[in-house]
Chains A and B, each alone.
Chain A
Amino acid sequence: MATEAESGTGLVFHPMDQFIVKPLFGDVIHWYTPTNVTLWMGLAALCVIALMVFGTTGRATIPSRIQSVAELAYGFIYKMVEDVAGKDAVKFFPYVMTLFLFIVFSNFLGLIPMSFTTTSHFAVTIVLALLVFLTVTIVGFIKNGVHFLELFWVTSAPLALRPVLAIIELVSYFVRPVSHSIRLAGNVMAGHAVIKVFAGFAALAVVSPVSILAITAMYGIEVLVAFIQAYVFTILTCVYLKDALHPGH
């Protein structure tokens, strides 16, 4: 396909090449090989640690700038877990916080030019979403036993409709991890690919100013999307946790 584009217009579009997983050393990718995935995930972890641990070493009552950012993130997610999932969900707070910080830093690190975006890979987001799905299902059954199945049996609906609704609810329950993961990866990948396509047009001198403007605008929207997708992933995790803890609504 790329060769066709090259021969047709003289432009070179490789919008997906930025997502290629490459080993840092050597050529072969085993399950343990350090790759660019490792590098950028490690950087994300380092950023999280730098913000949340080294930023707060002062334990100051009057916080420094970094510490107040860390406290802001803490308060933001804590309030979200408490408000959306309920008071008894607070014990899942470190877990939700881990997801949020990992996603938000991966997204922002991915916005650095020439970087690699780990959250644009379905392998990553599907694991994240499956972790949430499994947690919610297991916690739901442990907490409520068989009553957890009442989530699919809508007692407020007429009796005749309930089996139909049960099937719909069941399907939507199992579609959750799919939409949860594809939403994140798709959003991130789409934005990066679009920027890349605009960058491809910049090879034509006539359109390059427009192209650069478009890249700048897309970059701005991507910064917004990077945060909003992390927020949405986190708040949906909280919503699902609420279902697990209080299935009766």
Chain B
Amino acid sequence: MEGNLAHIGAGLAGMGTGIAALGVGNVAANFLAGALRNPSAAASQTATLFIGIAFAEALGIFSFLVALLLMFAV
């Protein structure tokens, strides 16, 4: 079935999820580095941290969605 090509595409798109994981880790790591330098300011910035993580993760979710669409809907 033509699904074979679509499966390859889904696998490629799935890589995006892992790359997004790099982004999320980057956000969290930099937050931690900043928080250890100035712990008193860390508590007020957790909301910003979550917003940043959410934006980074959303793009990974997009690629996951593309993978799902290639697997099931195309």
Contacts and interface: CB of A to CB of B under 8 A. Distances in A.
- Direct contact, A vs B (beta carbon within 8 Å): yes
Interface of A: 1, 4, 16, 80, 83-84, 179, 182-183, 186-187, 189-190, 193, 228, 231-232, 235-236, 239
A187 B62 CA distance: 10
Given A1-B3, A1-B71, A1-B72, A182 B50 contact: no
The 9 residue pairs across chains A and B that have the minimum distance between CB atoms: A186-B61, A232-B54, A183-B58, A179-B58, A190-B64, A186-B65, A232-B50, A183-B61, A235-B47
A232 B51 contact: yes
Contacts of B72: 1, 16
Interface residues of B, number: 17
A189 B67 CA distance: 13
Contacts of A182: 58, 61-62, 65
The residue among A4, A80, A182, A232 with the most chain B CB atoms within 10 A of its own CB is A232
Contact of B51 (A4, A189, A239): A239
Given A190-B64, A235-B50, 16 more contacts: A1-B72, A4-B1, A4-B3, A16-B68, A83-B47, A179-B55, A179-B58, A183-B58, A186-B61, A186-B65, A187-B57, A190-B61, A193-B68, A228-B50, A231-B50, A232-B50
Contacts of A186: 58, 61-62, 64-65
